[in-house]
Amino acid sequence: MTEFWEIVIAFFLIISGIFGFVGSFGMIKLKDPMSRLHAPTKATTLGVGGVLIASILHSLALEHRLSLHELLITLFLFLTAPVTALFIAKWHIHRHETPDSLPNAGEDGKWATHAVQTDEEIPDHTAT
């Protein structure tokens, strides 16, 4: 029985390893910054999720005790990952997109990042 659980746990660890790798590989392969933003969201879902399921199963089946604080890691990730992704996306829109390069914002006219009043000229450090 122990052997069966070890195989199941190993399966989840391998799944998470594969998706963690694909997420990191995507950072190299994808060329534009907005597409690169997609890579970390992959690593934080199935990548981390696999390790957490393996951890819960390990404590349940091999150590015979219930350990559920892995669920909290999922909860915190689901709270923080979208916020950081939004920050990076907003930075990108602010510095590299114009209202014309984005799709039409409908009845509101502008996207929130472009609707902000700029009081001073921000020096562009990204120019090479």
Partner 1 sequence: MKLLRRVFPHPHLTILLTIVWVLLANAPSLNSVVFGLILGIVIPFITQPYWPDRPILRNWPMVVEYILVVLWDIVVANFTVARIILFKRDADRQPNWVCVPLELRSPEAITVLAGTITMTPGTVSCDLSAQGHNLLVHCLDAPDPDAVRDEIKHRYERRLKEIFE
Judged by the rule CB under 8 A, the positions of this chain that interact with partner 1 are 18-19, 22, 25-26, 29-32, 34-35, 37-39, 41-42, 44-46, 67-69, 71-72, 75, 78-79, 81-82, 85-86, 89-90, 92-93, 102-113, 115
User: What is the SS3 assignment for 65?
Assistant: coil
| Smallest distance from partner 1 to CB 84, Å | 9
User: What tokens were used for 112?
Assistant: 């929130």
> Which residue, 10 or 29, has its beta carbon nearer to partner 1?
29
Q: How many CA atoms lie within 13 A of 124 on its CB side?
A: 7
Name the minimum Å distance from CB 59 to partner 1. 9
Shortest CB 76 distance to partner 1, Å = 10
**2 vs 43, which CB is nearer to partner 1?**
43
Between 57 and 85, name the residue whose CB sits nearer to partner 1.
85
Q: Is the dihedral of CA 69, 70, 71, 73 positive or negative?
A: positive
- Neighbour count for residue 128 (Cβ, 10 Å): 3
